[in-house]
């Protein structure tokens, strides 16, 4: 998981400076796929529609990726999704699409958790 830190500085209507720190958590998903596979295309299309970034590993053109796939899943079957953050790995496009949608929904609901607002030392009486 990577953590993206976004800092914002805003000016309140009373002239006080407010600092906002937003943390967003991103999970790394790896998809083993073949471009010619219609089930893989379904997964890729859904990931694009949900704006989910996947690390793509084309097993048709890279023998090393095929070996990785075999060592992780035991079969040459694609699509195969690996979520290293959650320790999850599985086949079947419908299950992968459902998982991606659930992960996206979870990320959206937690993307602004952990928002903290800090006031500077010089806060006017009205803003306290």
| 6 burial level (CB within 10 Å; 0-12, 13-18, 19+) | exposed
Cα 73 from Cα 114, distance rounded (Å): 36
Q: What mean pLDDT is reported for the chain?
A: 77
pLDDT exceeds cutoff 80 at 102:
yes
pLDDT exceeds cutoff 70 at 1:
no
Is residue 102 within 8 Å of residue 12, measured between CB atoms?
Answer: no
Q: Take residue 7 and report the two structure tokens written for it.
A: 């800092």
pTM value is 0.66
Give the start-to-end residue ranges of the domains of the chain: 2-123
Q: Which of 69-73, 88-92, 123-127 has the lowest mean pLDDT?
A: 123-127
pLDDT exceeds cutoff 80 at 38:
yes
The residue ranking higher by pLDDT, 44 or 6, is: 44
Q: Which of 4-8, 45-49, 58-62, 77-81 has the lowest mean pLDDT?
A: 4-8
Rg (CA), the chain: 21
pLDDT tens column, 39-73: 999 999 999 999 899 999 999 999 999 999 999 99
CATH code for residues 2-123: 3.40.30.10
pLDDT exceeds cutoff 60 at 26:
no
Distances (CA, A) of 59 to 24, 55, 92, 104: 31, 13, 16, 25
């Amino acid at each position: 998981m990577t953590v993206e830190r976004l800092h914002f500085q805003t000016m309140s209507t009373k002239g006080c400076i407010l600092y906002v720190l937003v943390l967003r958590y991103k999970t790394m998903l790896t998809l083993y796929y073949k471009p010619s596979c219609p089930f893989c295309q379904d997964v890729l299309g859904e990931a694009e529609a949900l704006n989910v970034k996947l690390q793509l590993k084309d097993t048709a053109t890279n023998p090393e990726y095929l070996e990785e796939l075999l060592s992780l899943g035991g079969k040459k079957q694609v699509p195969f999704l690996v979520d290293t953050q959650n320790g999850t790995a599985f086949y079947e496009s419908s299950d992968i699409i459902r998982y991606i949608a659930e992960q996206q929904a979870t990320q959206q609901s937690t993307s602004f958790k952990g928002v903290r607002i800090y006031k500077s030392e010089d806060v006017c009486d009205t803003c306290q």
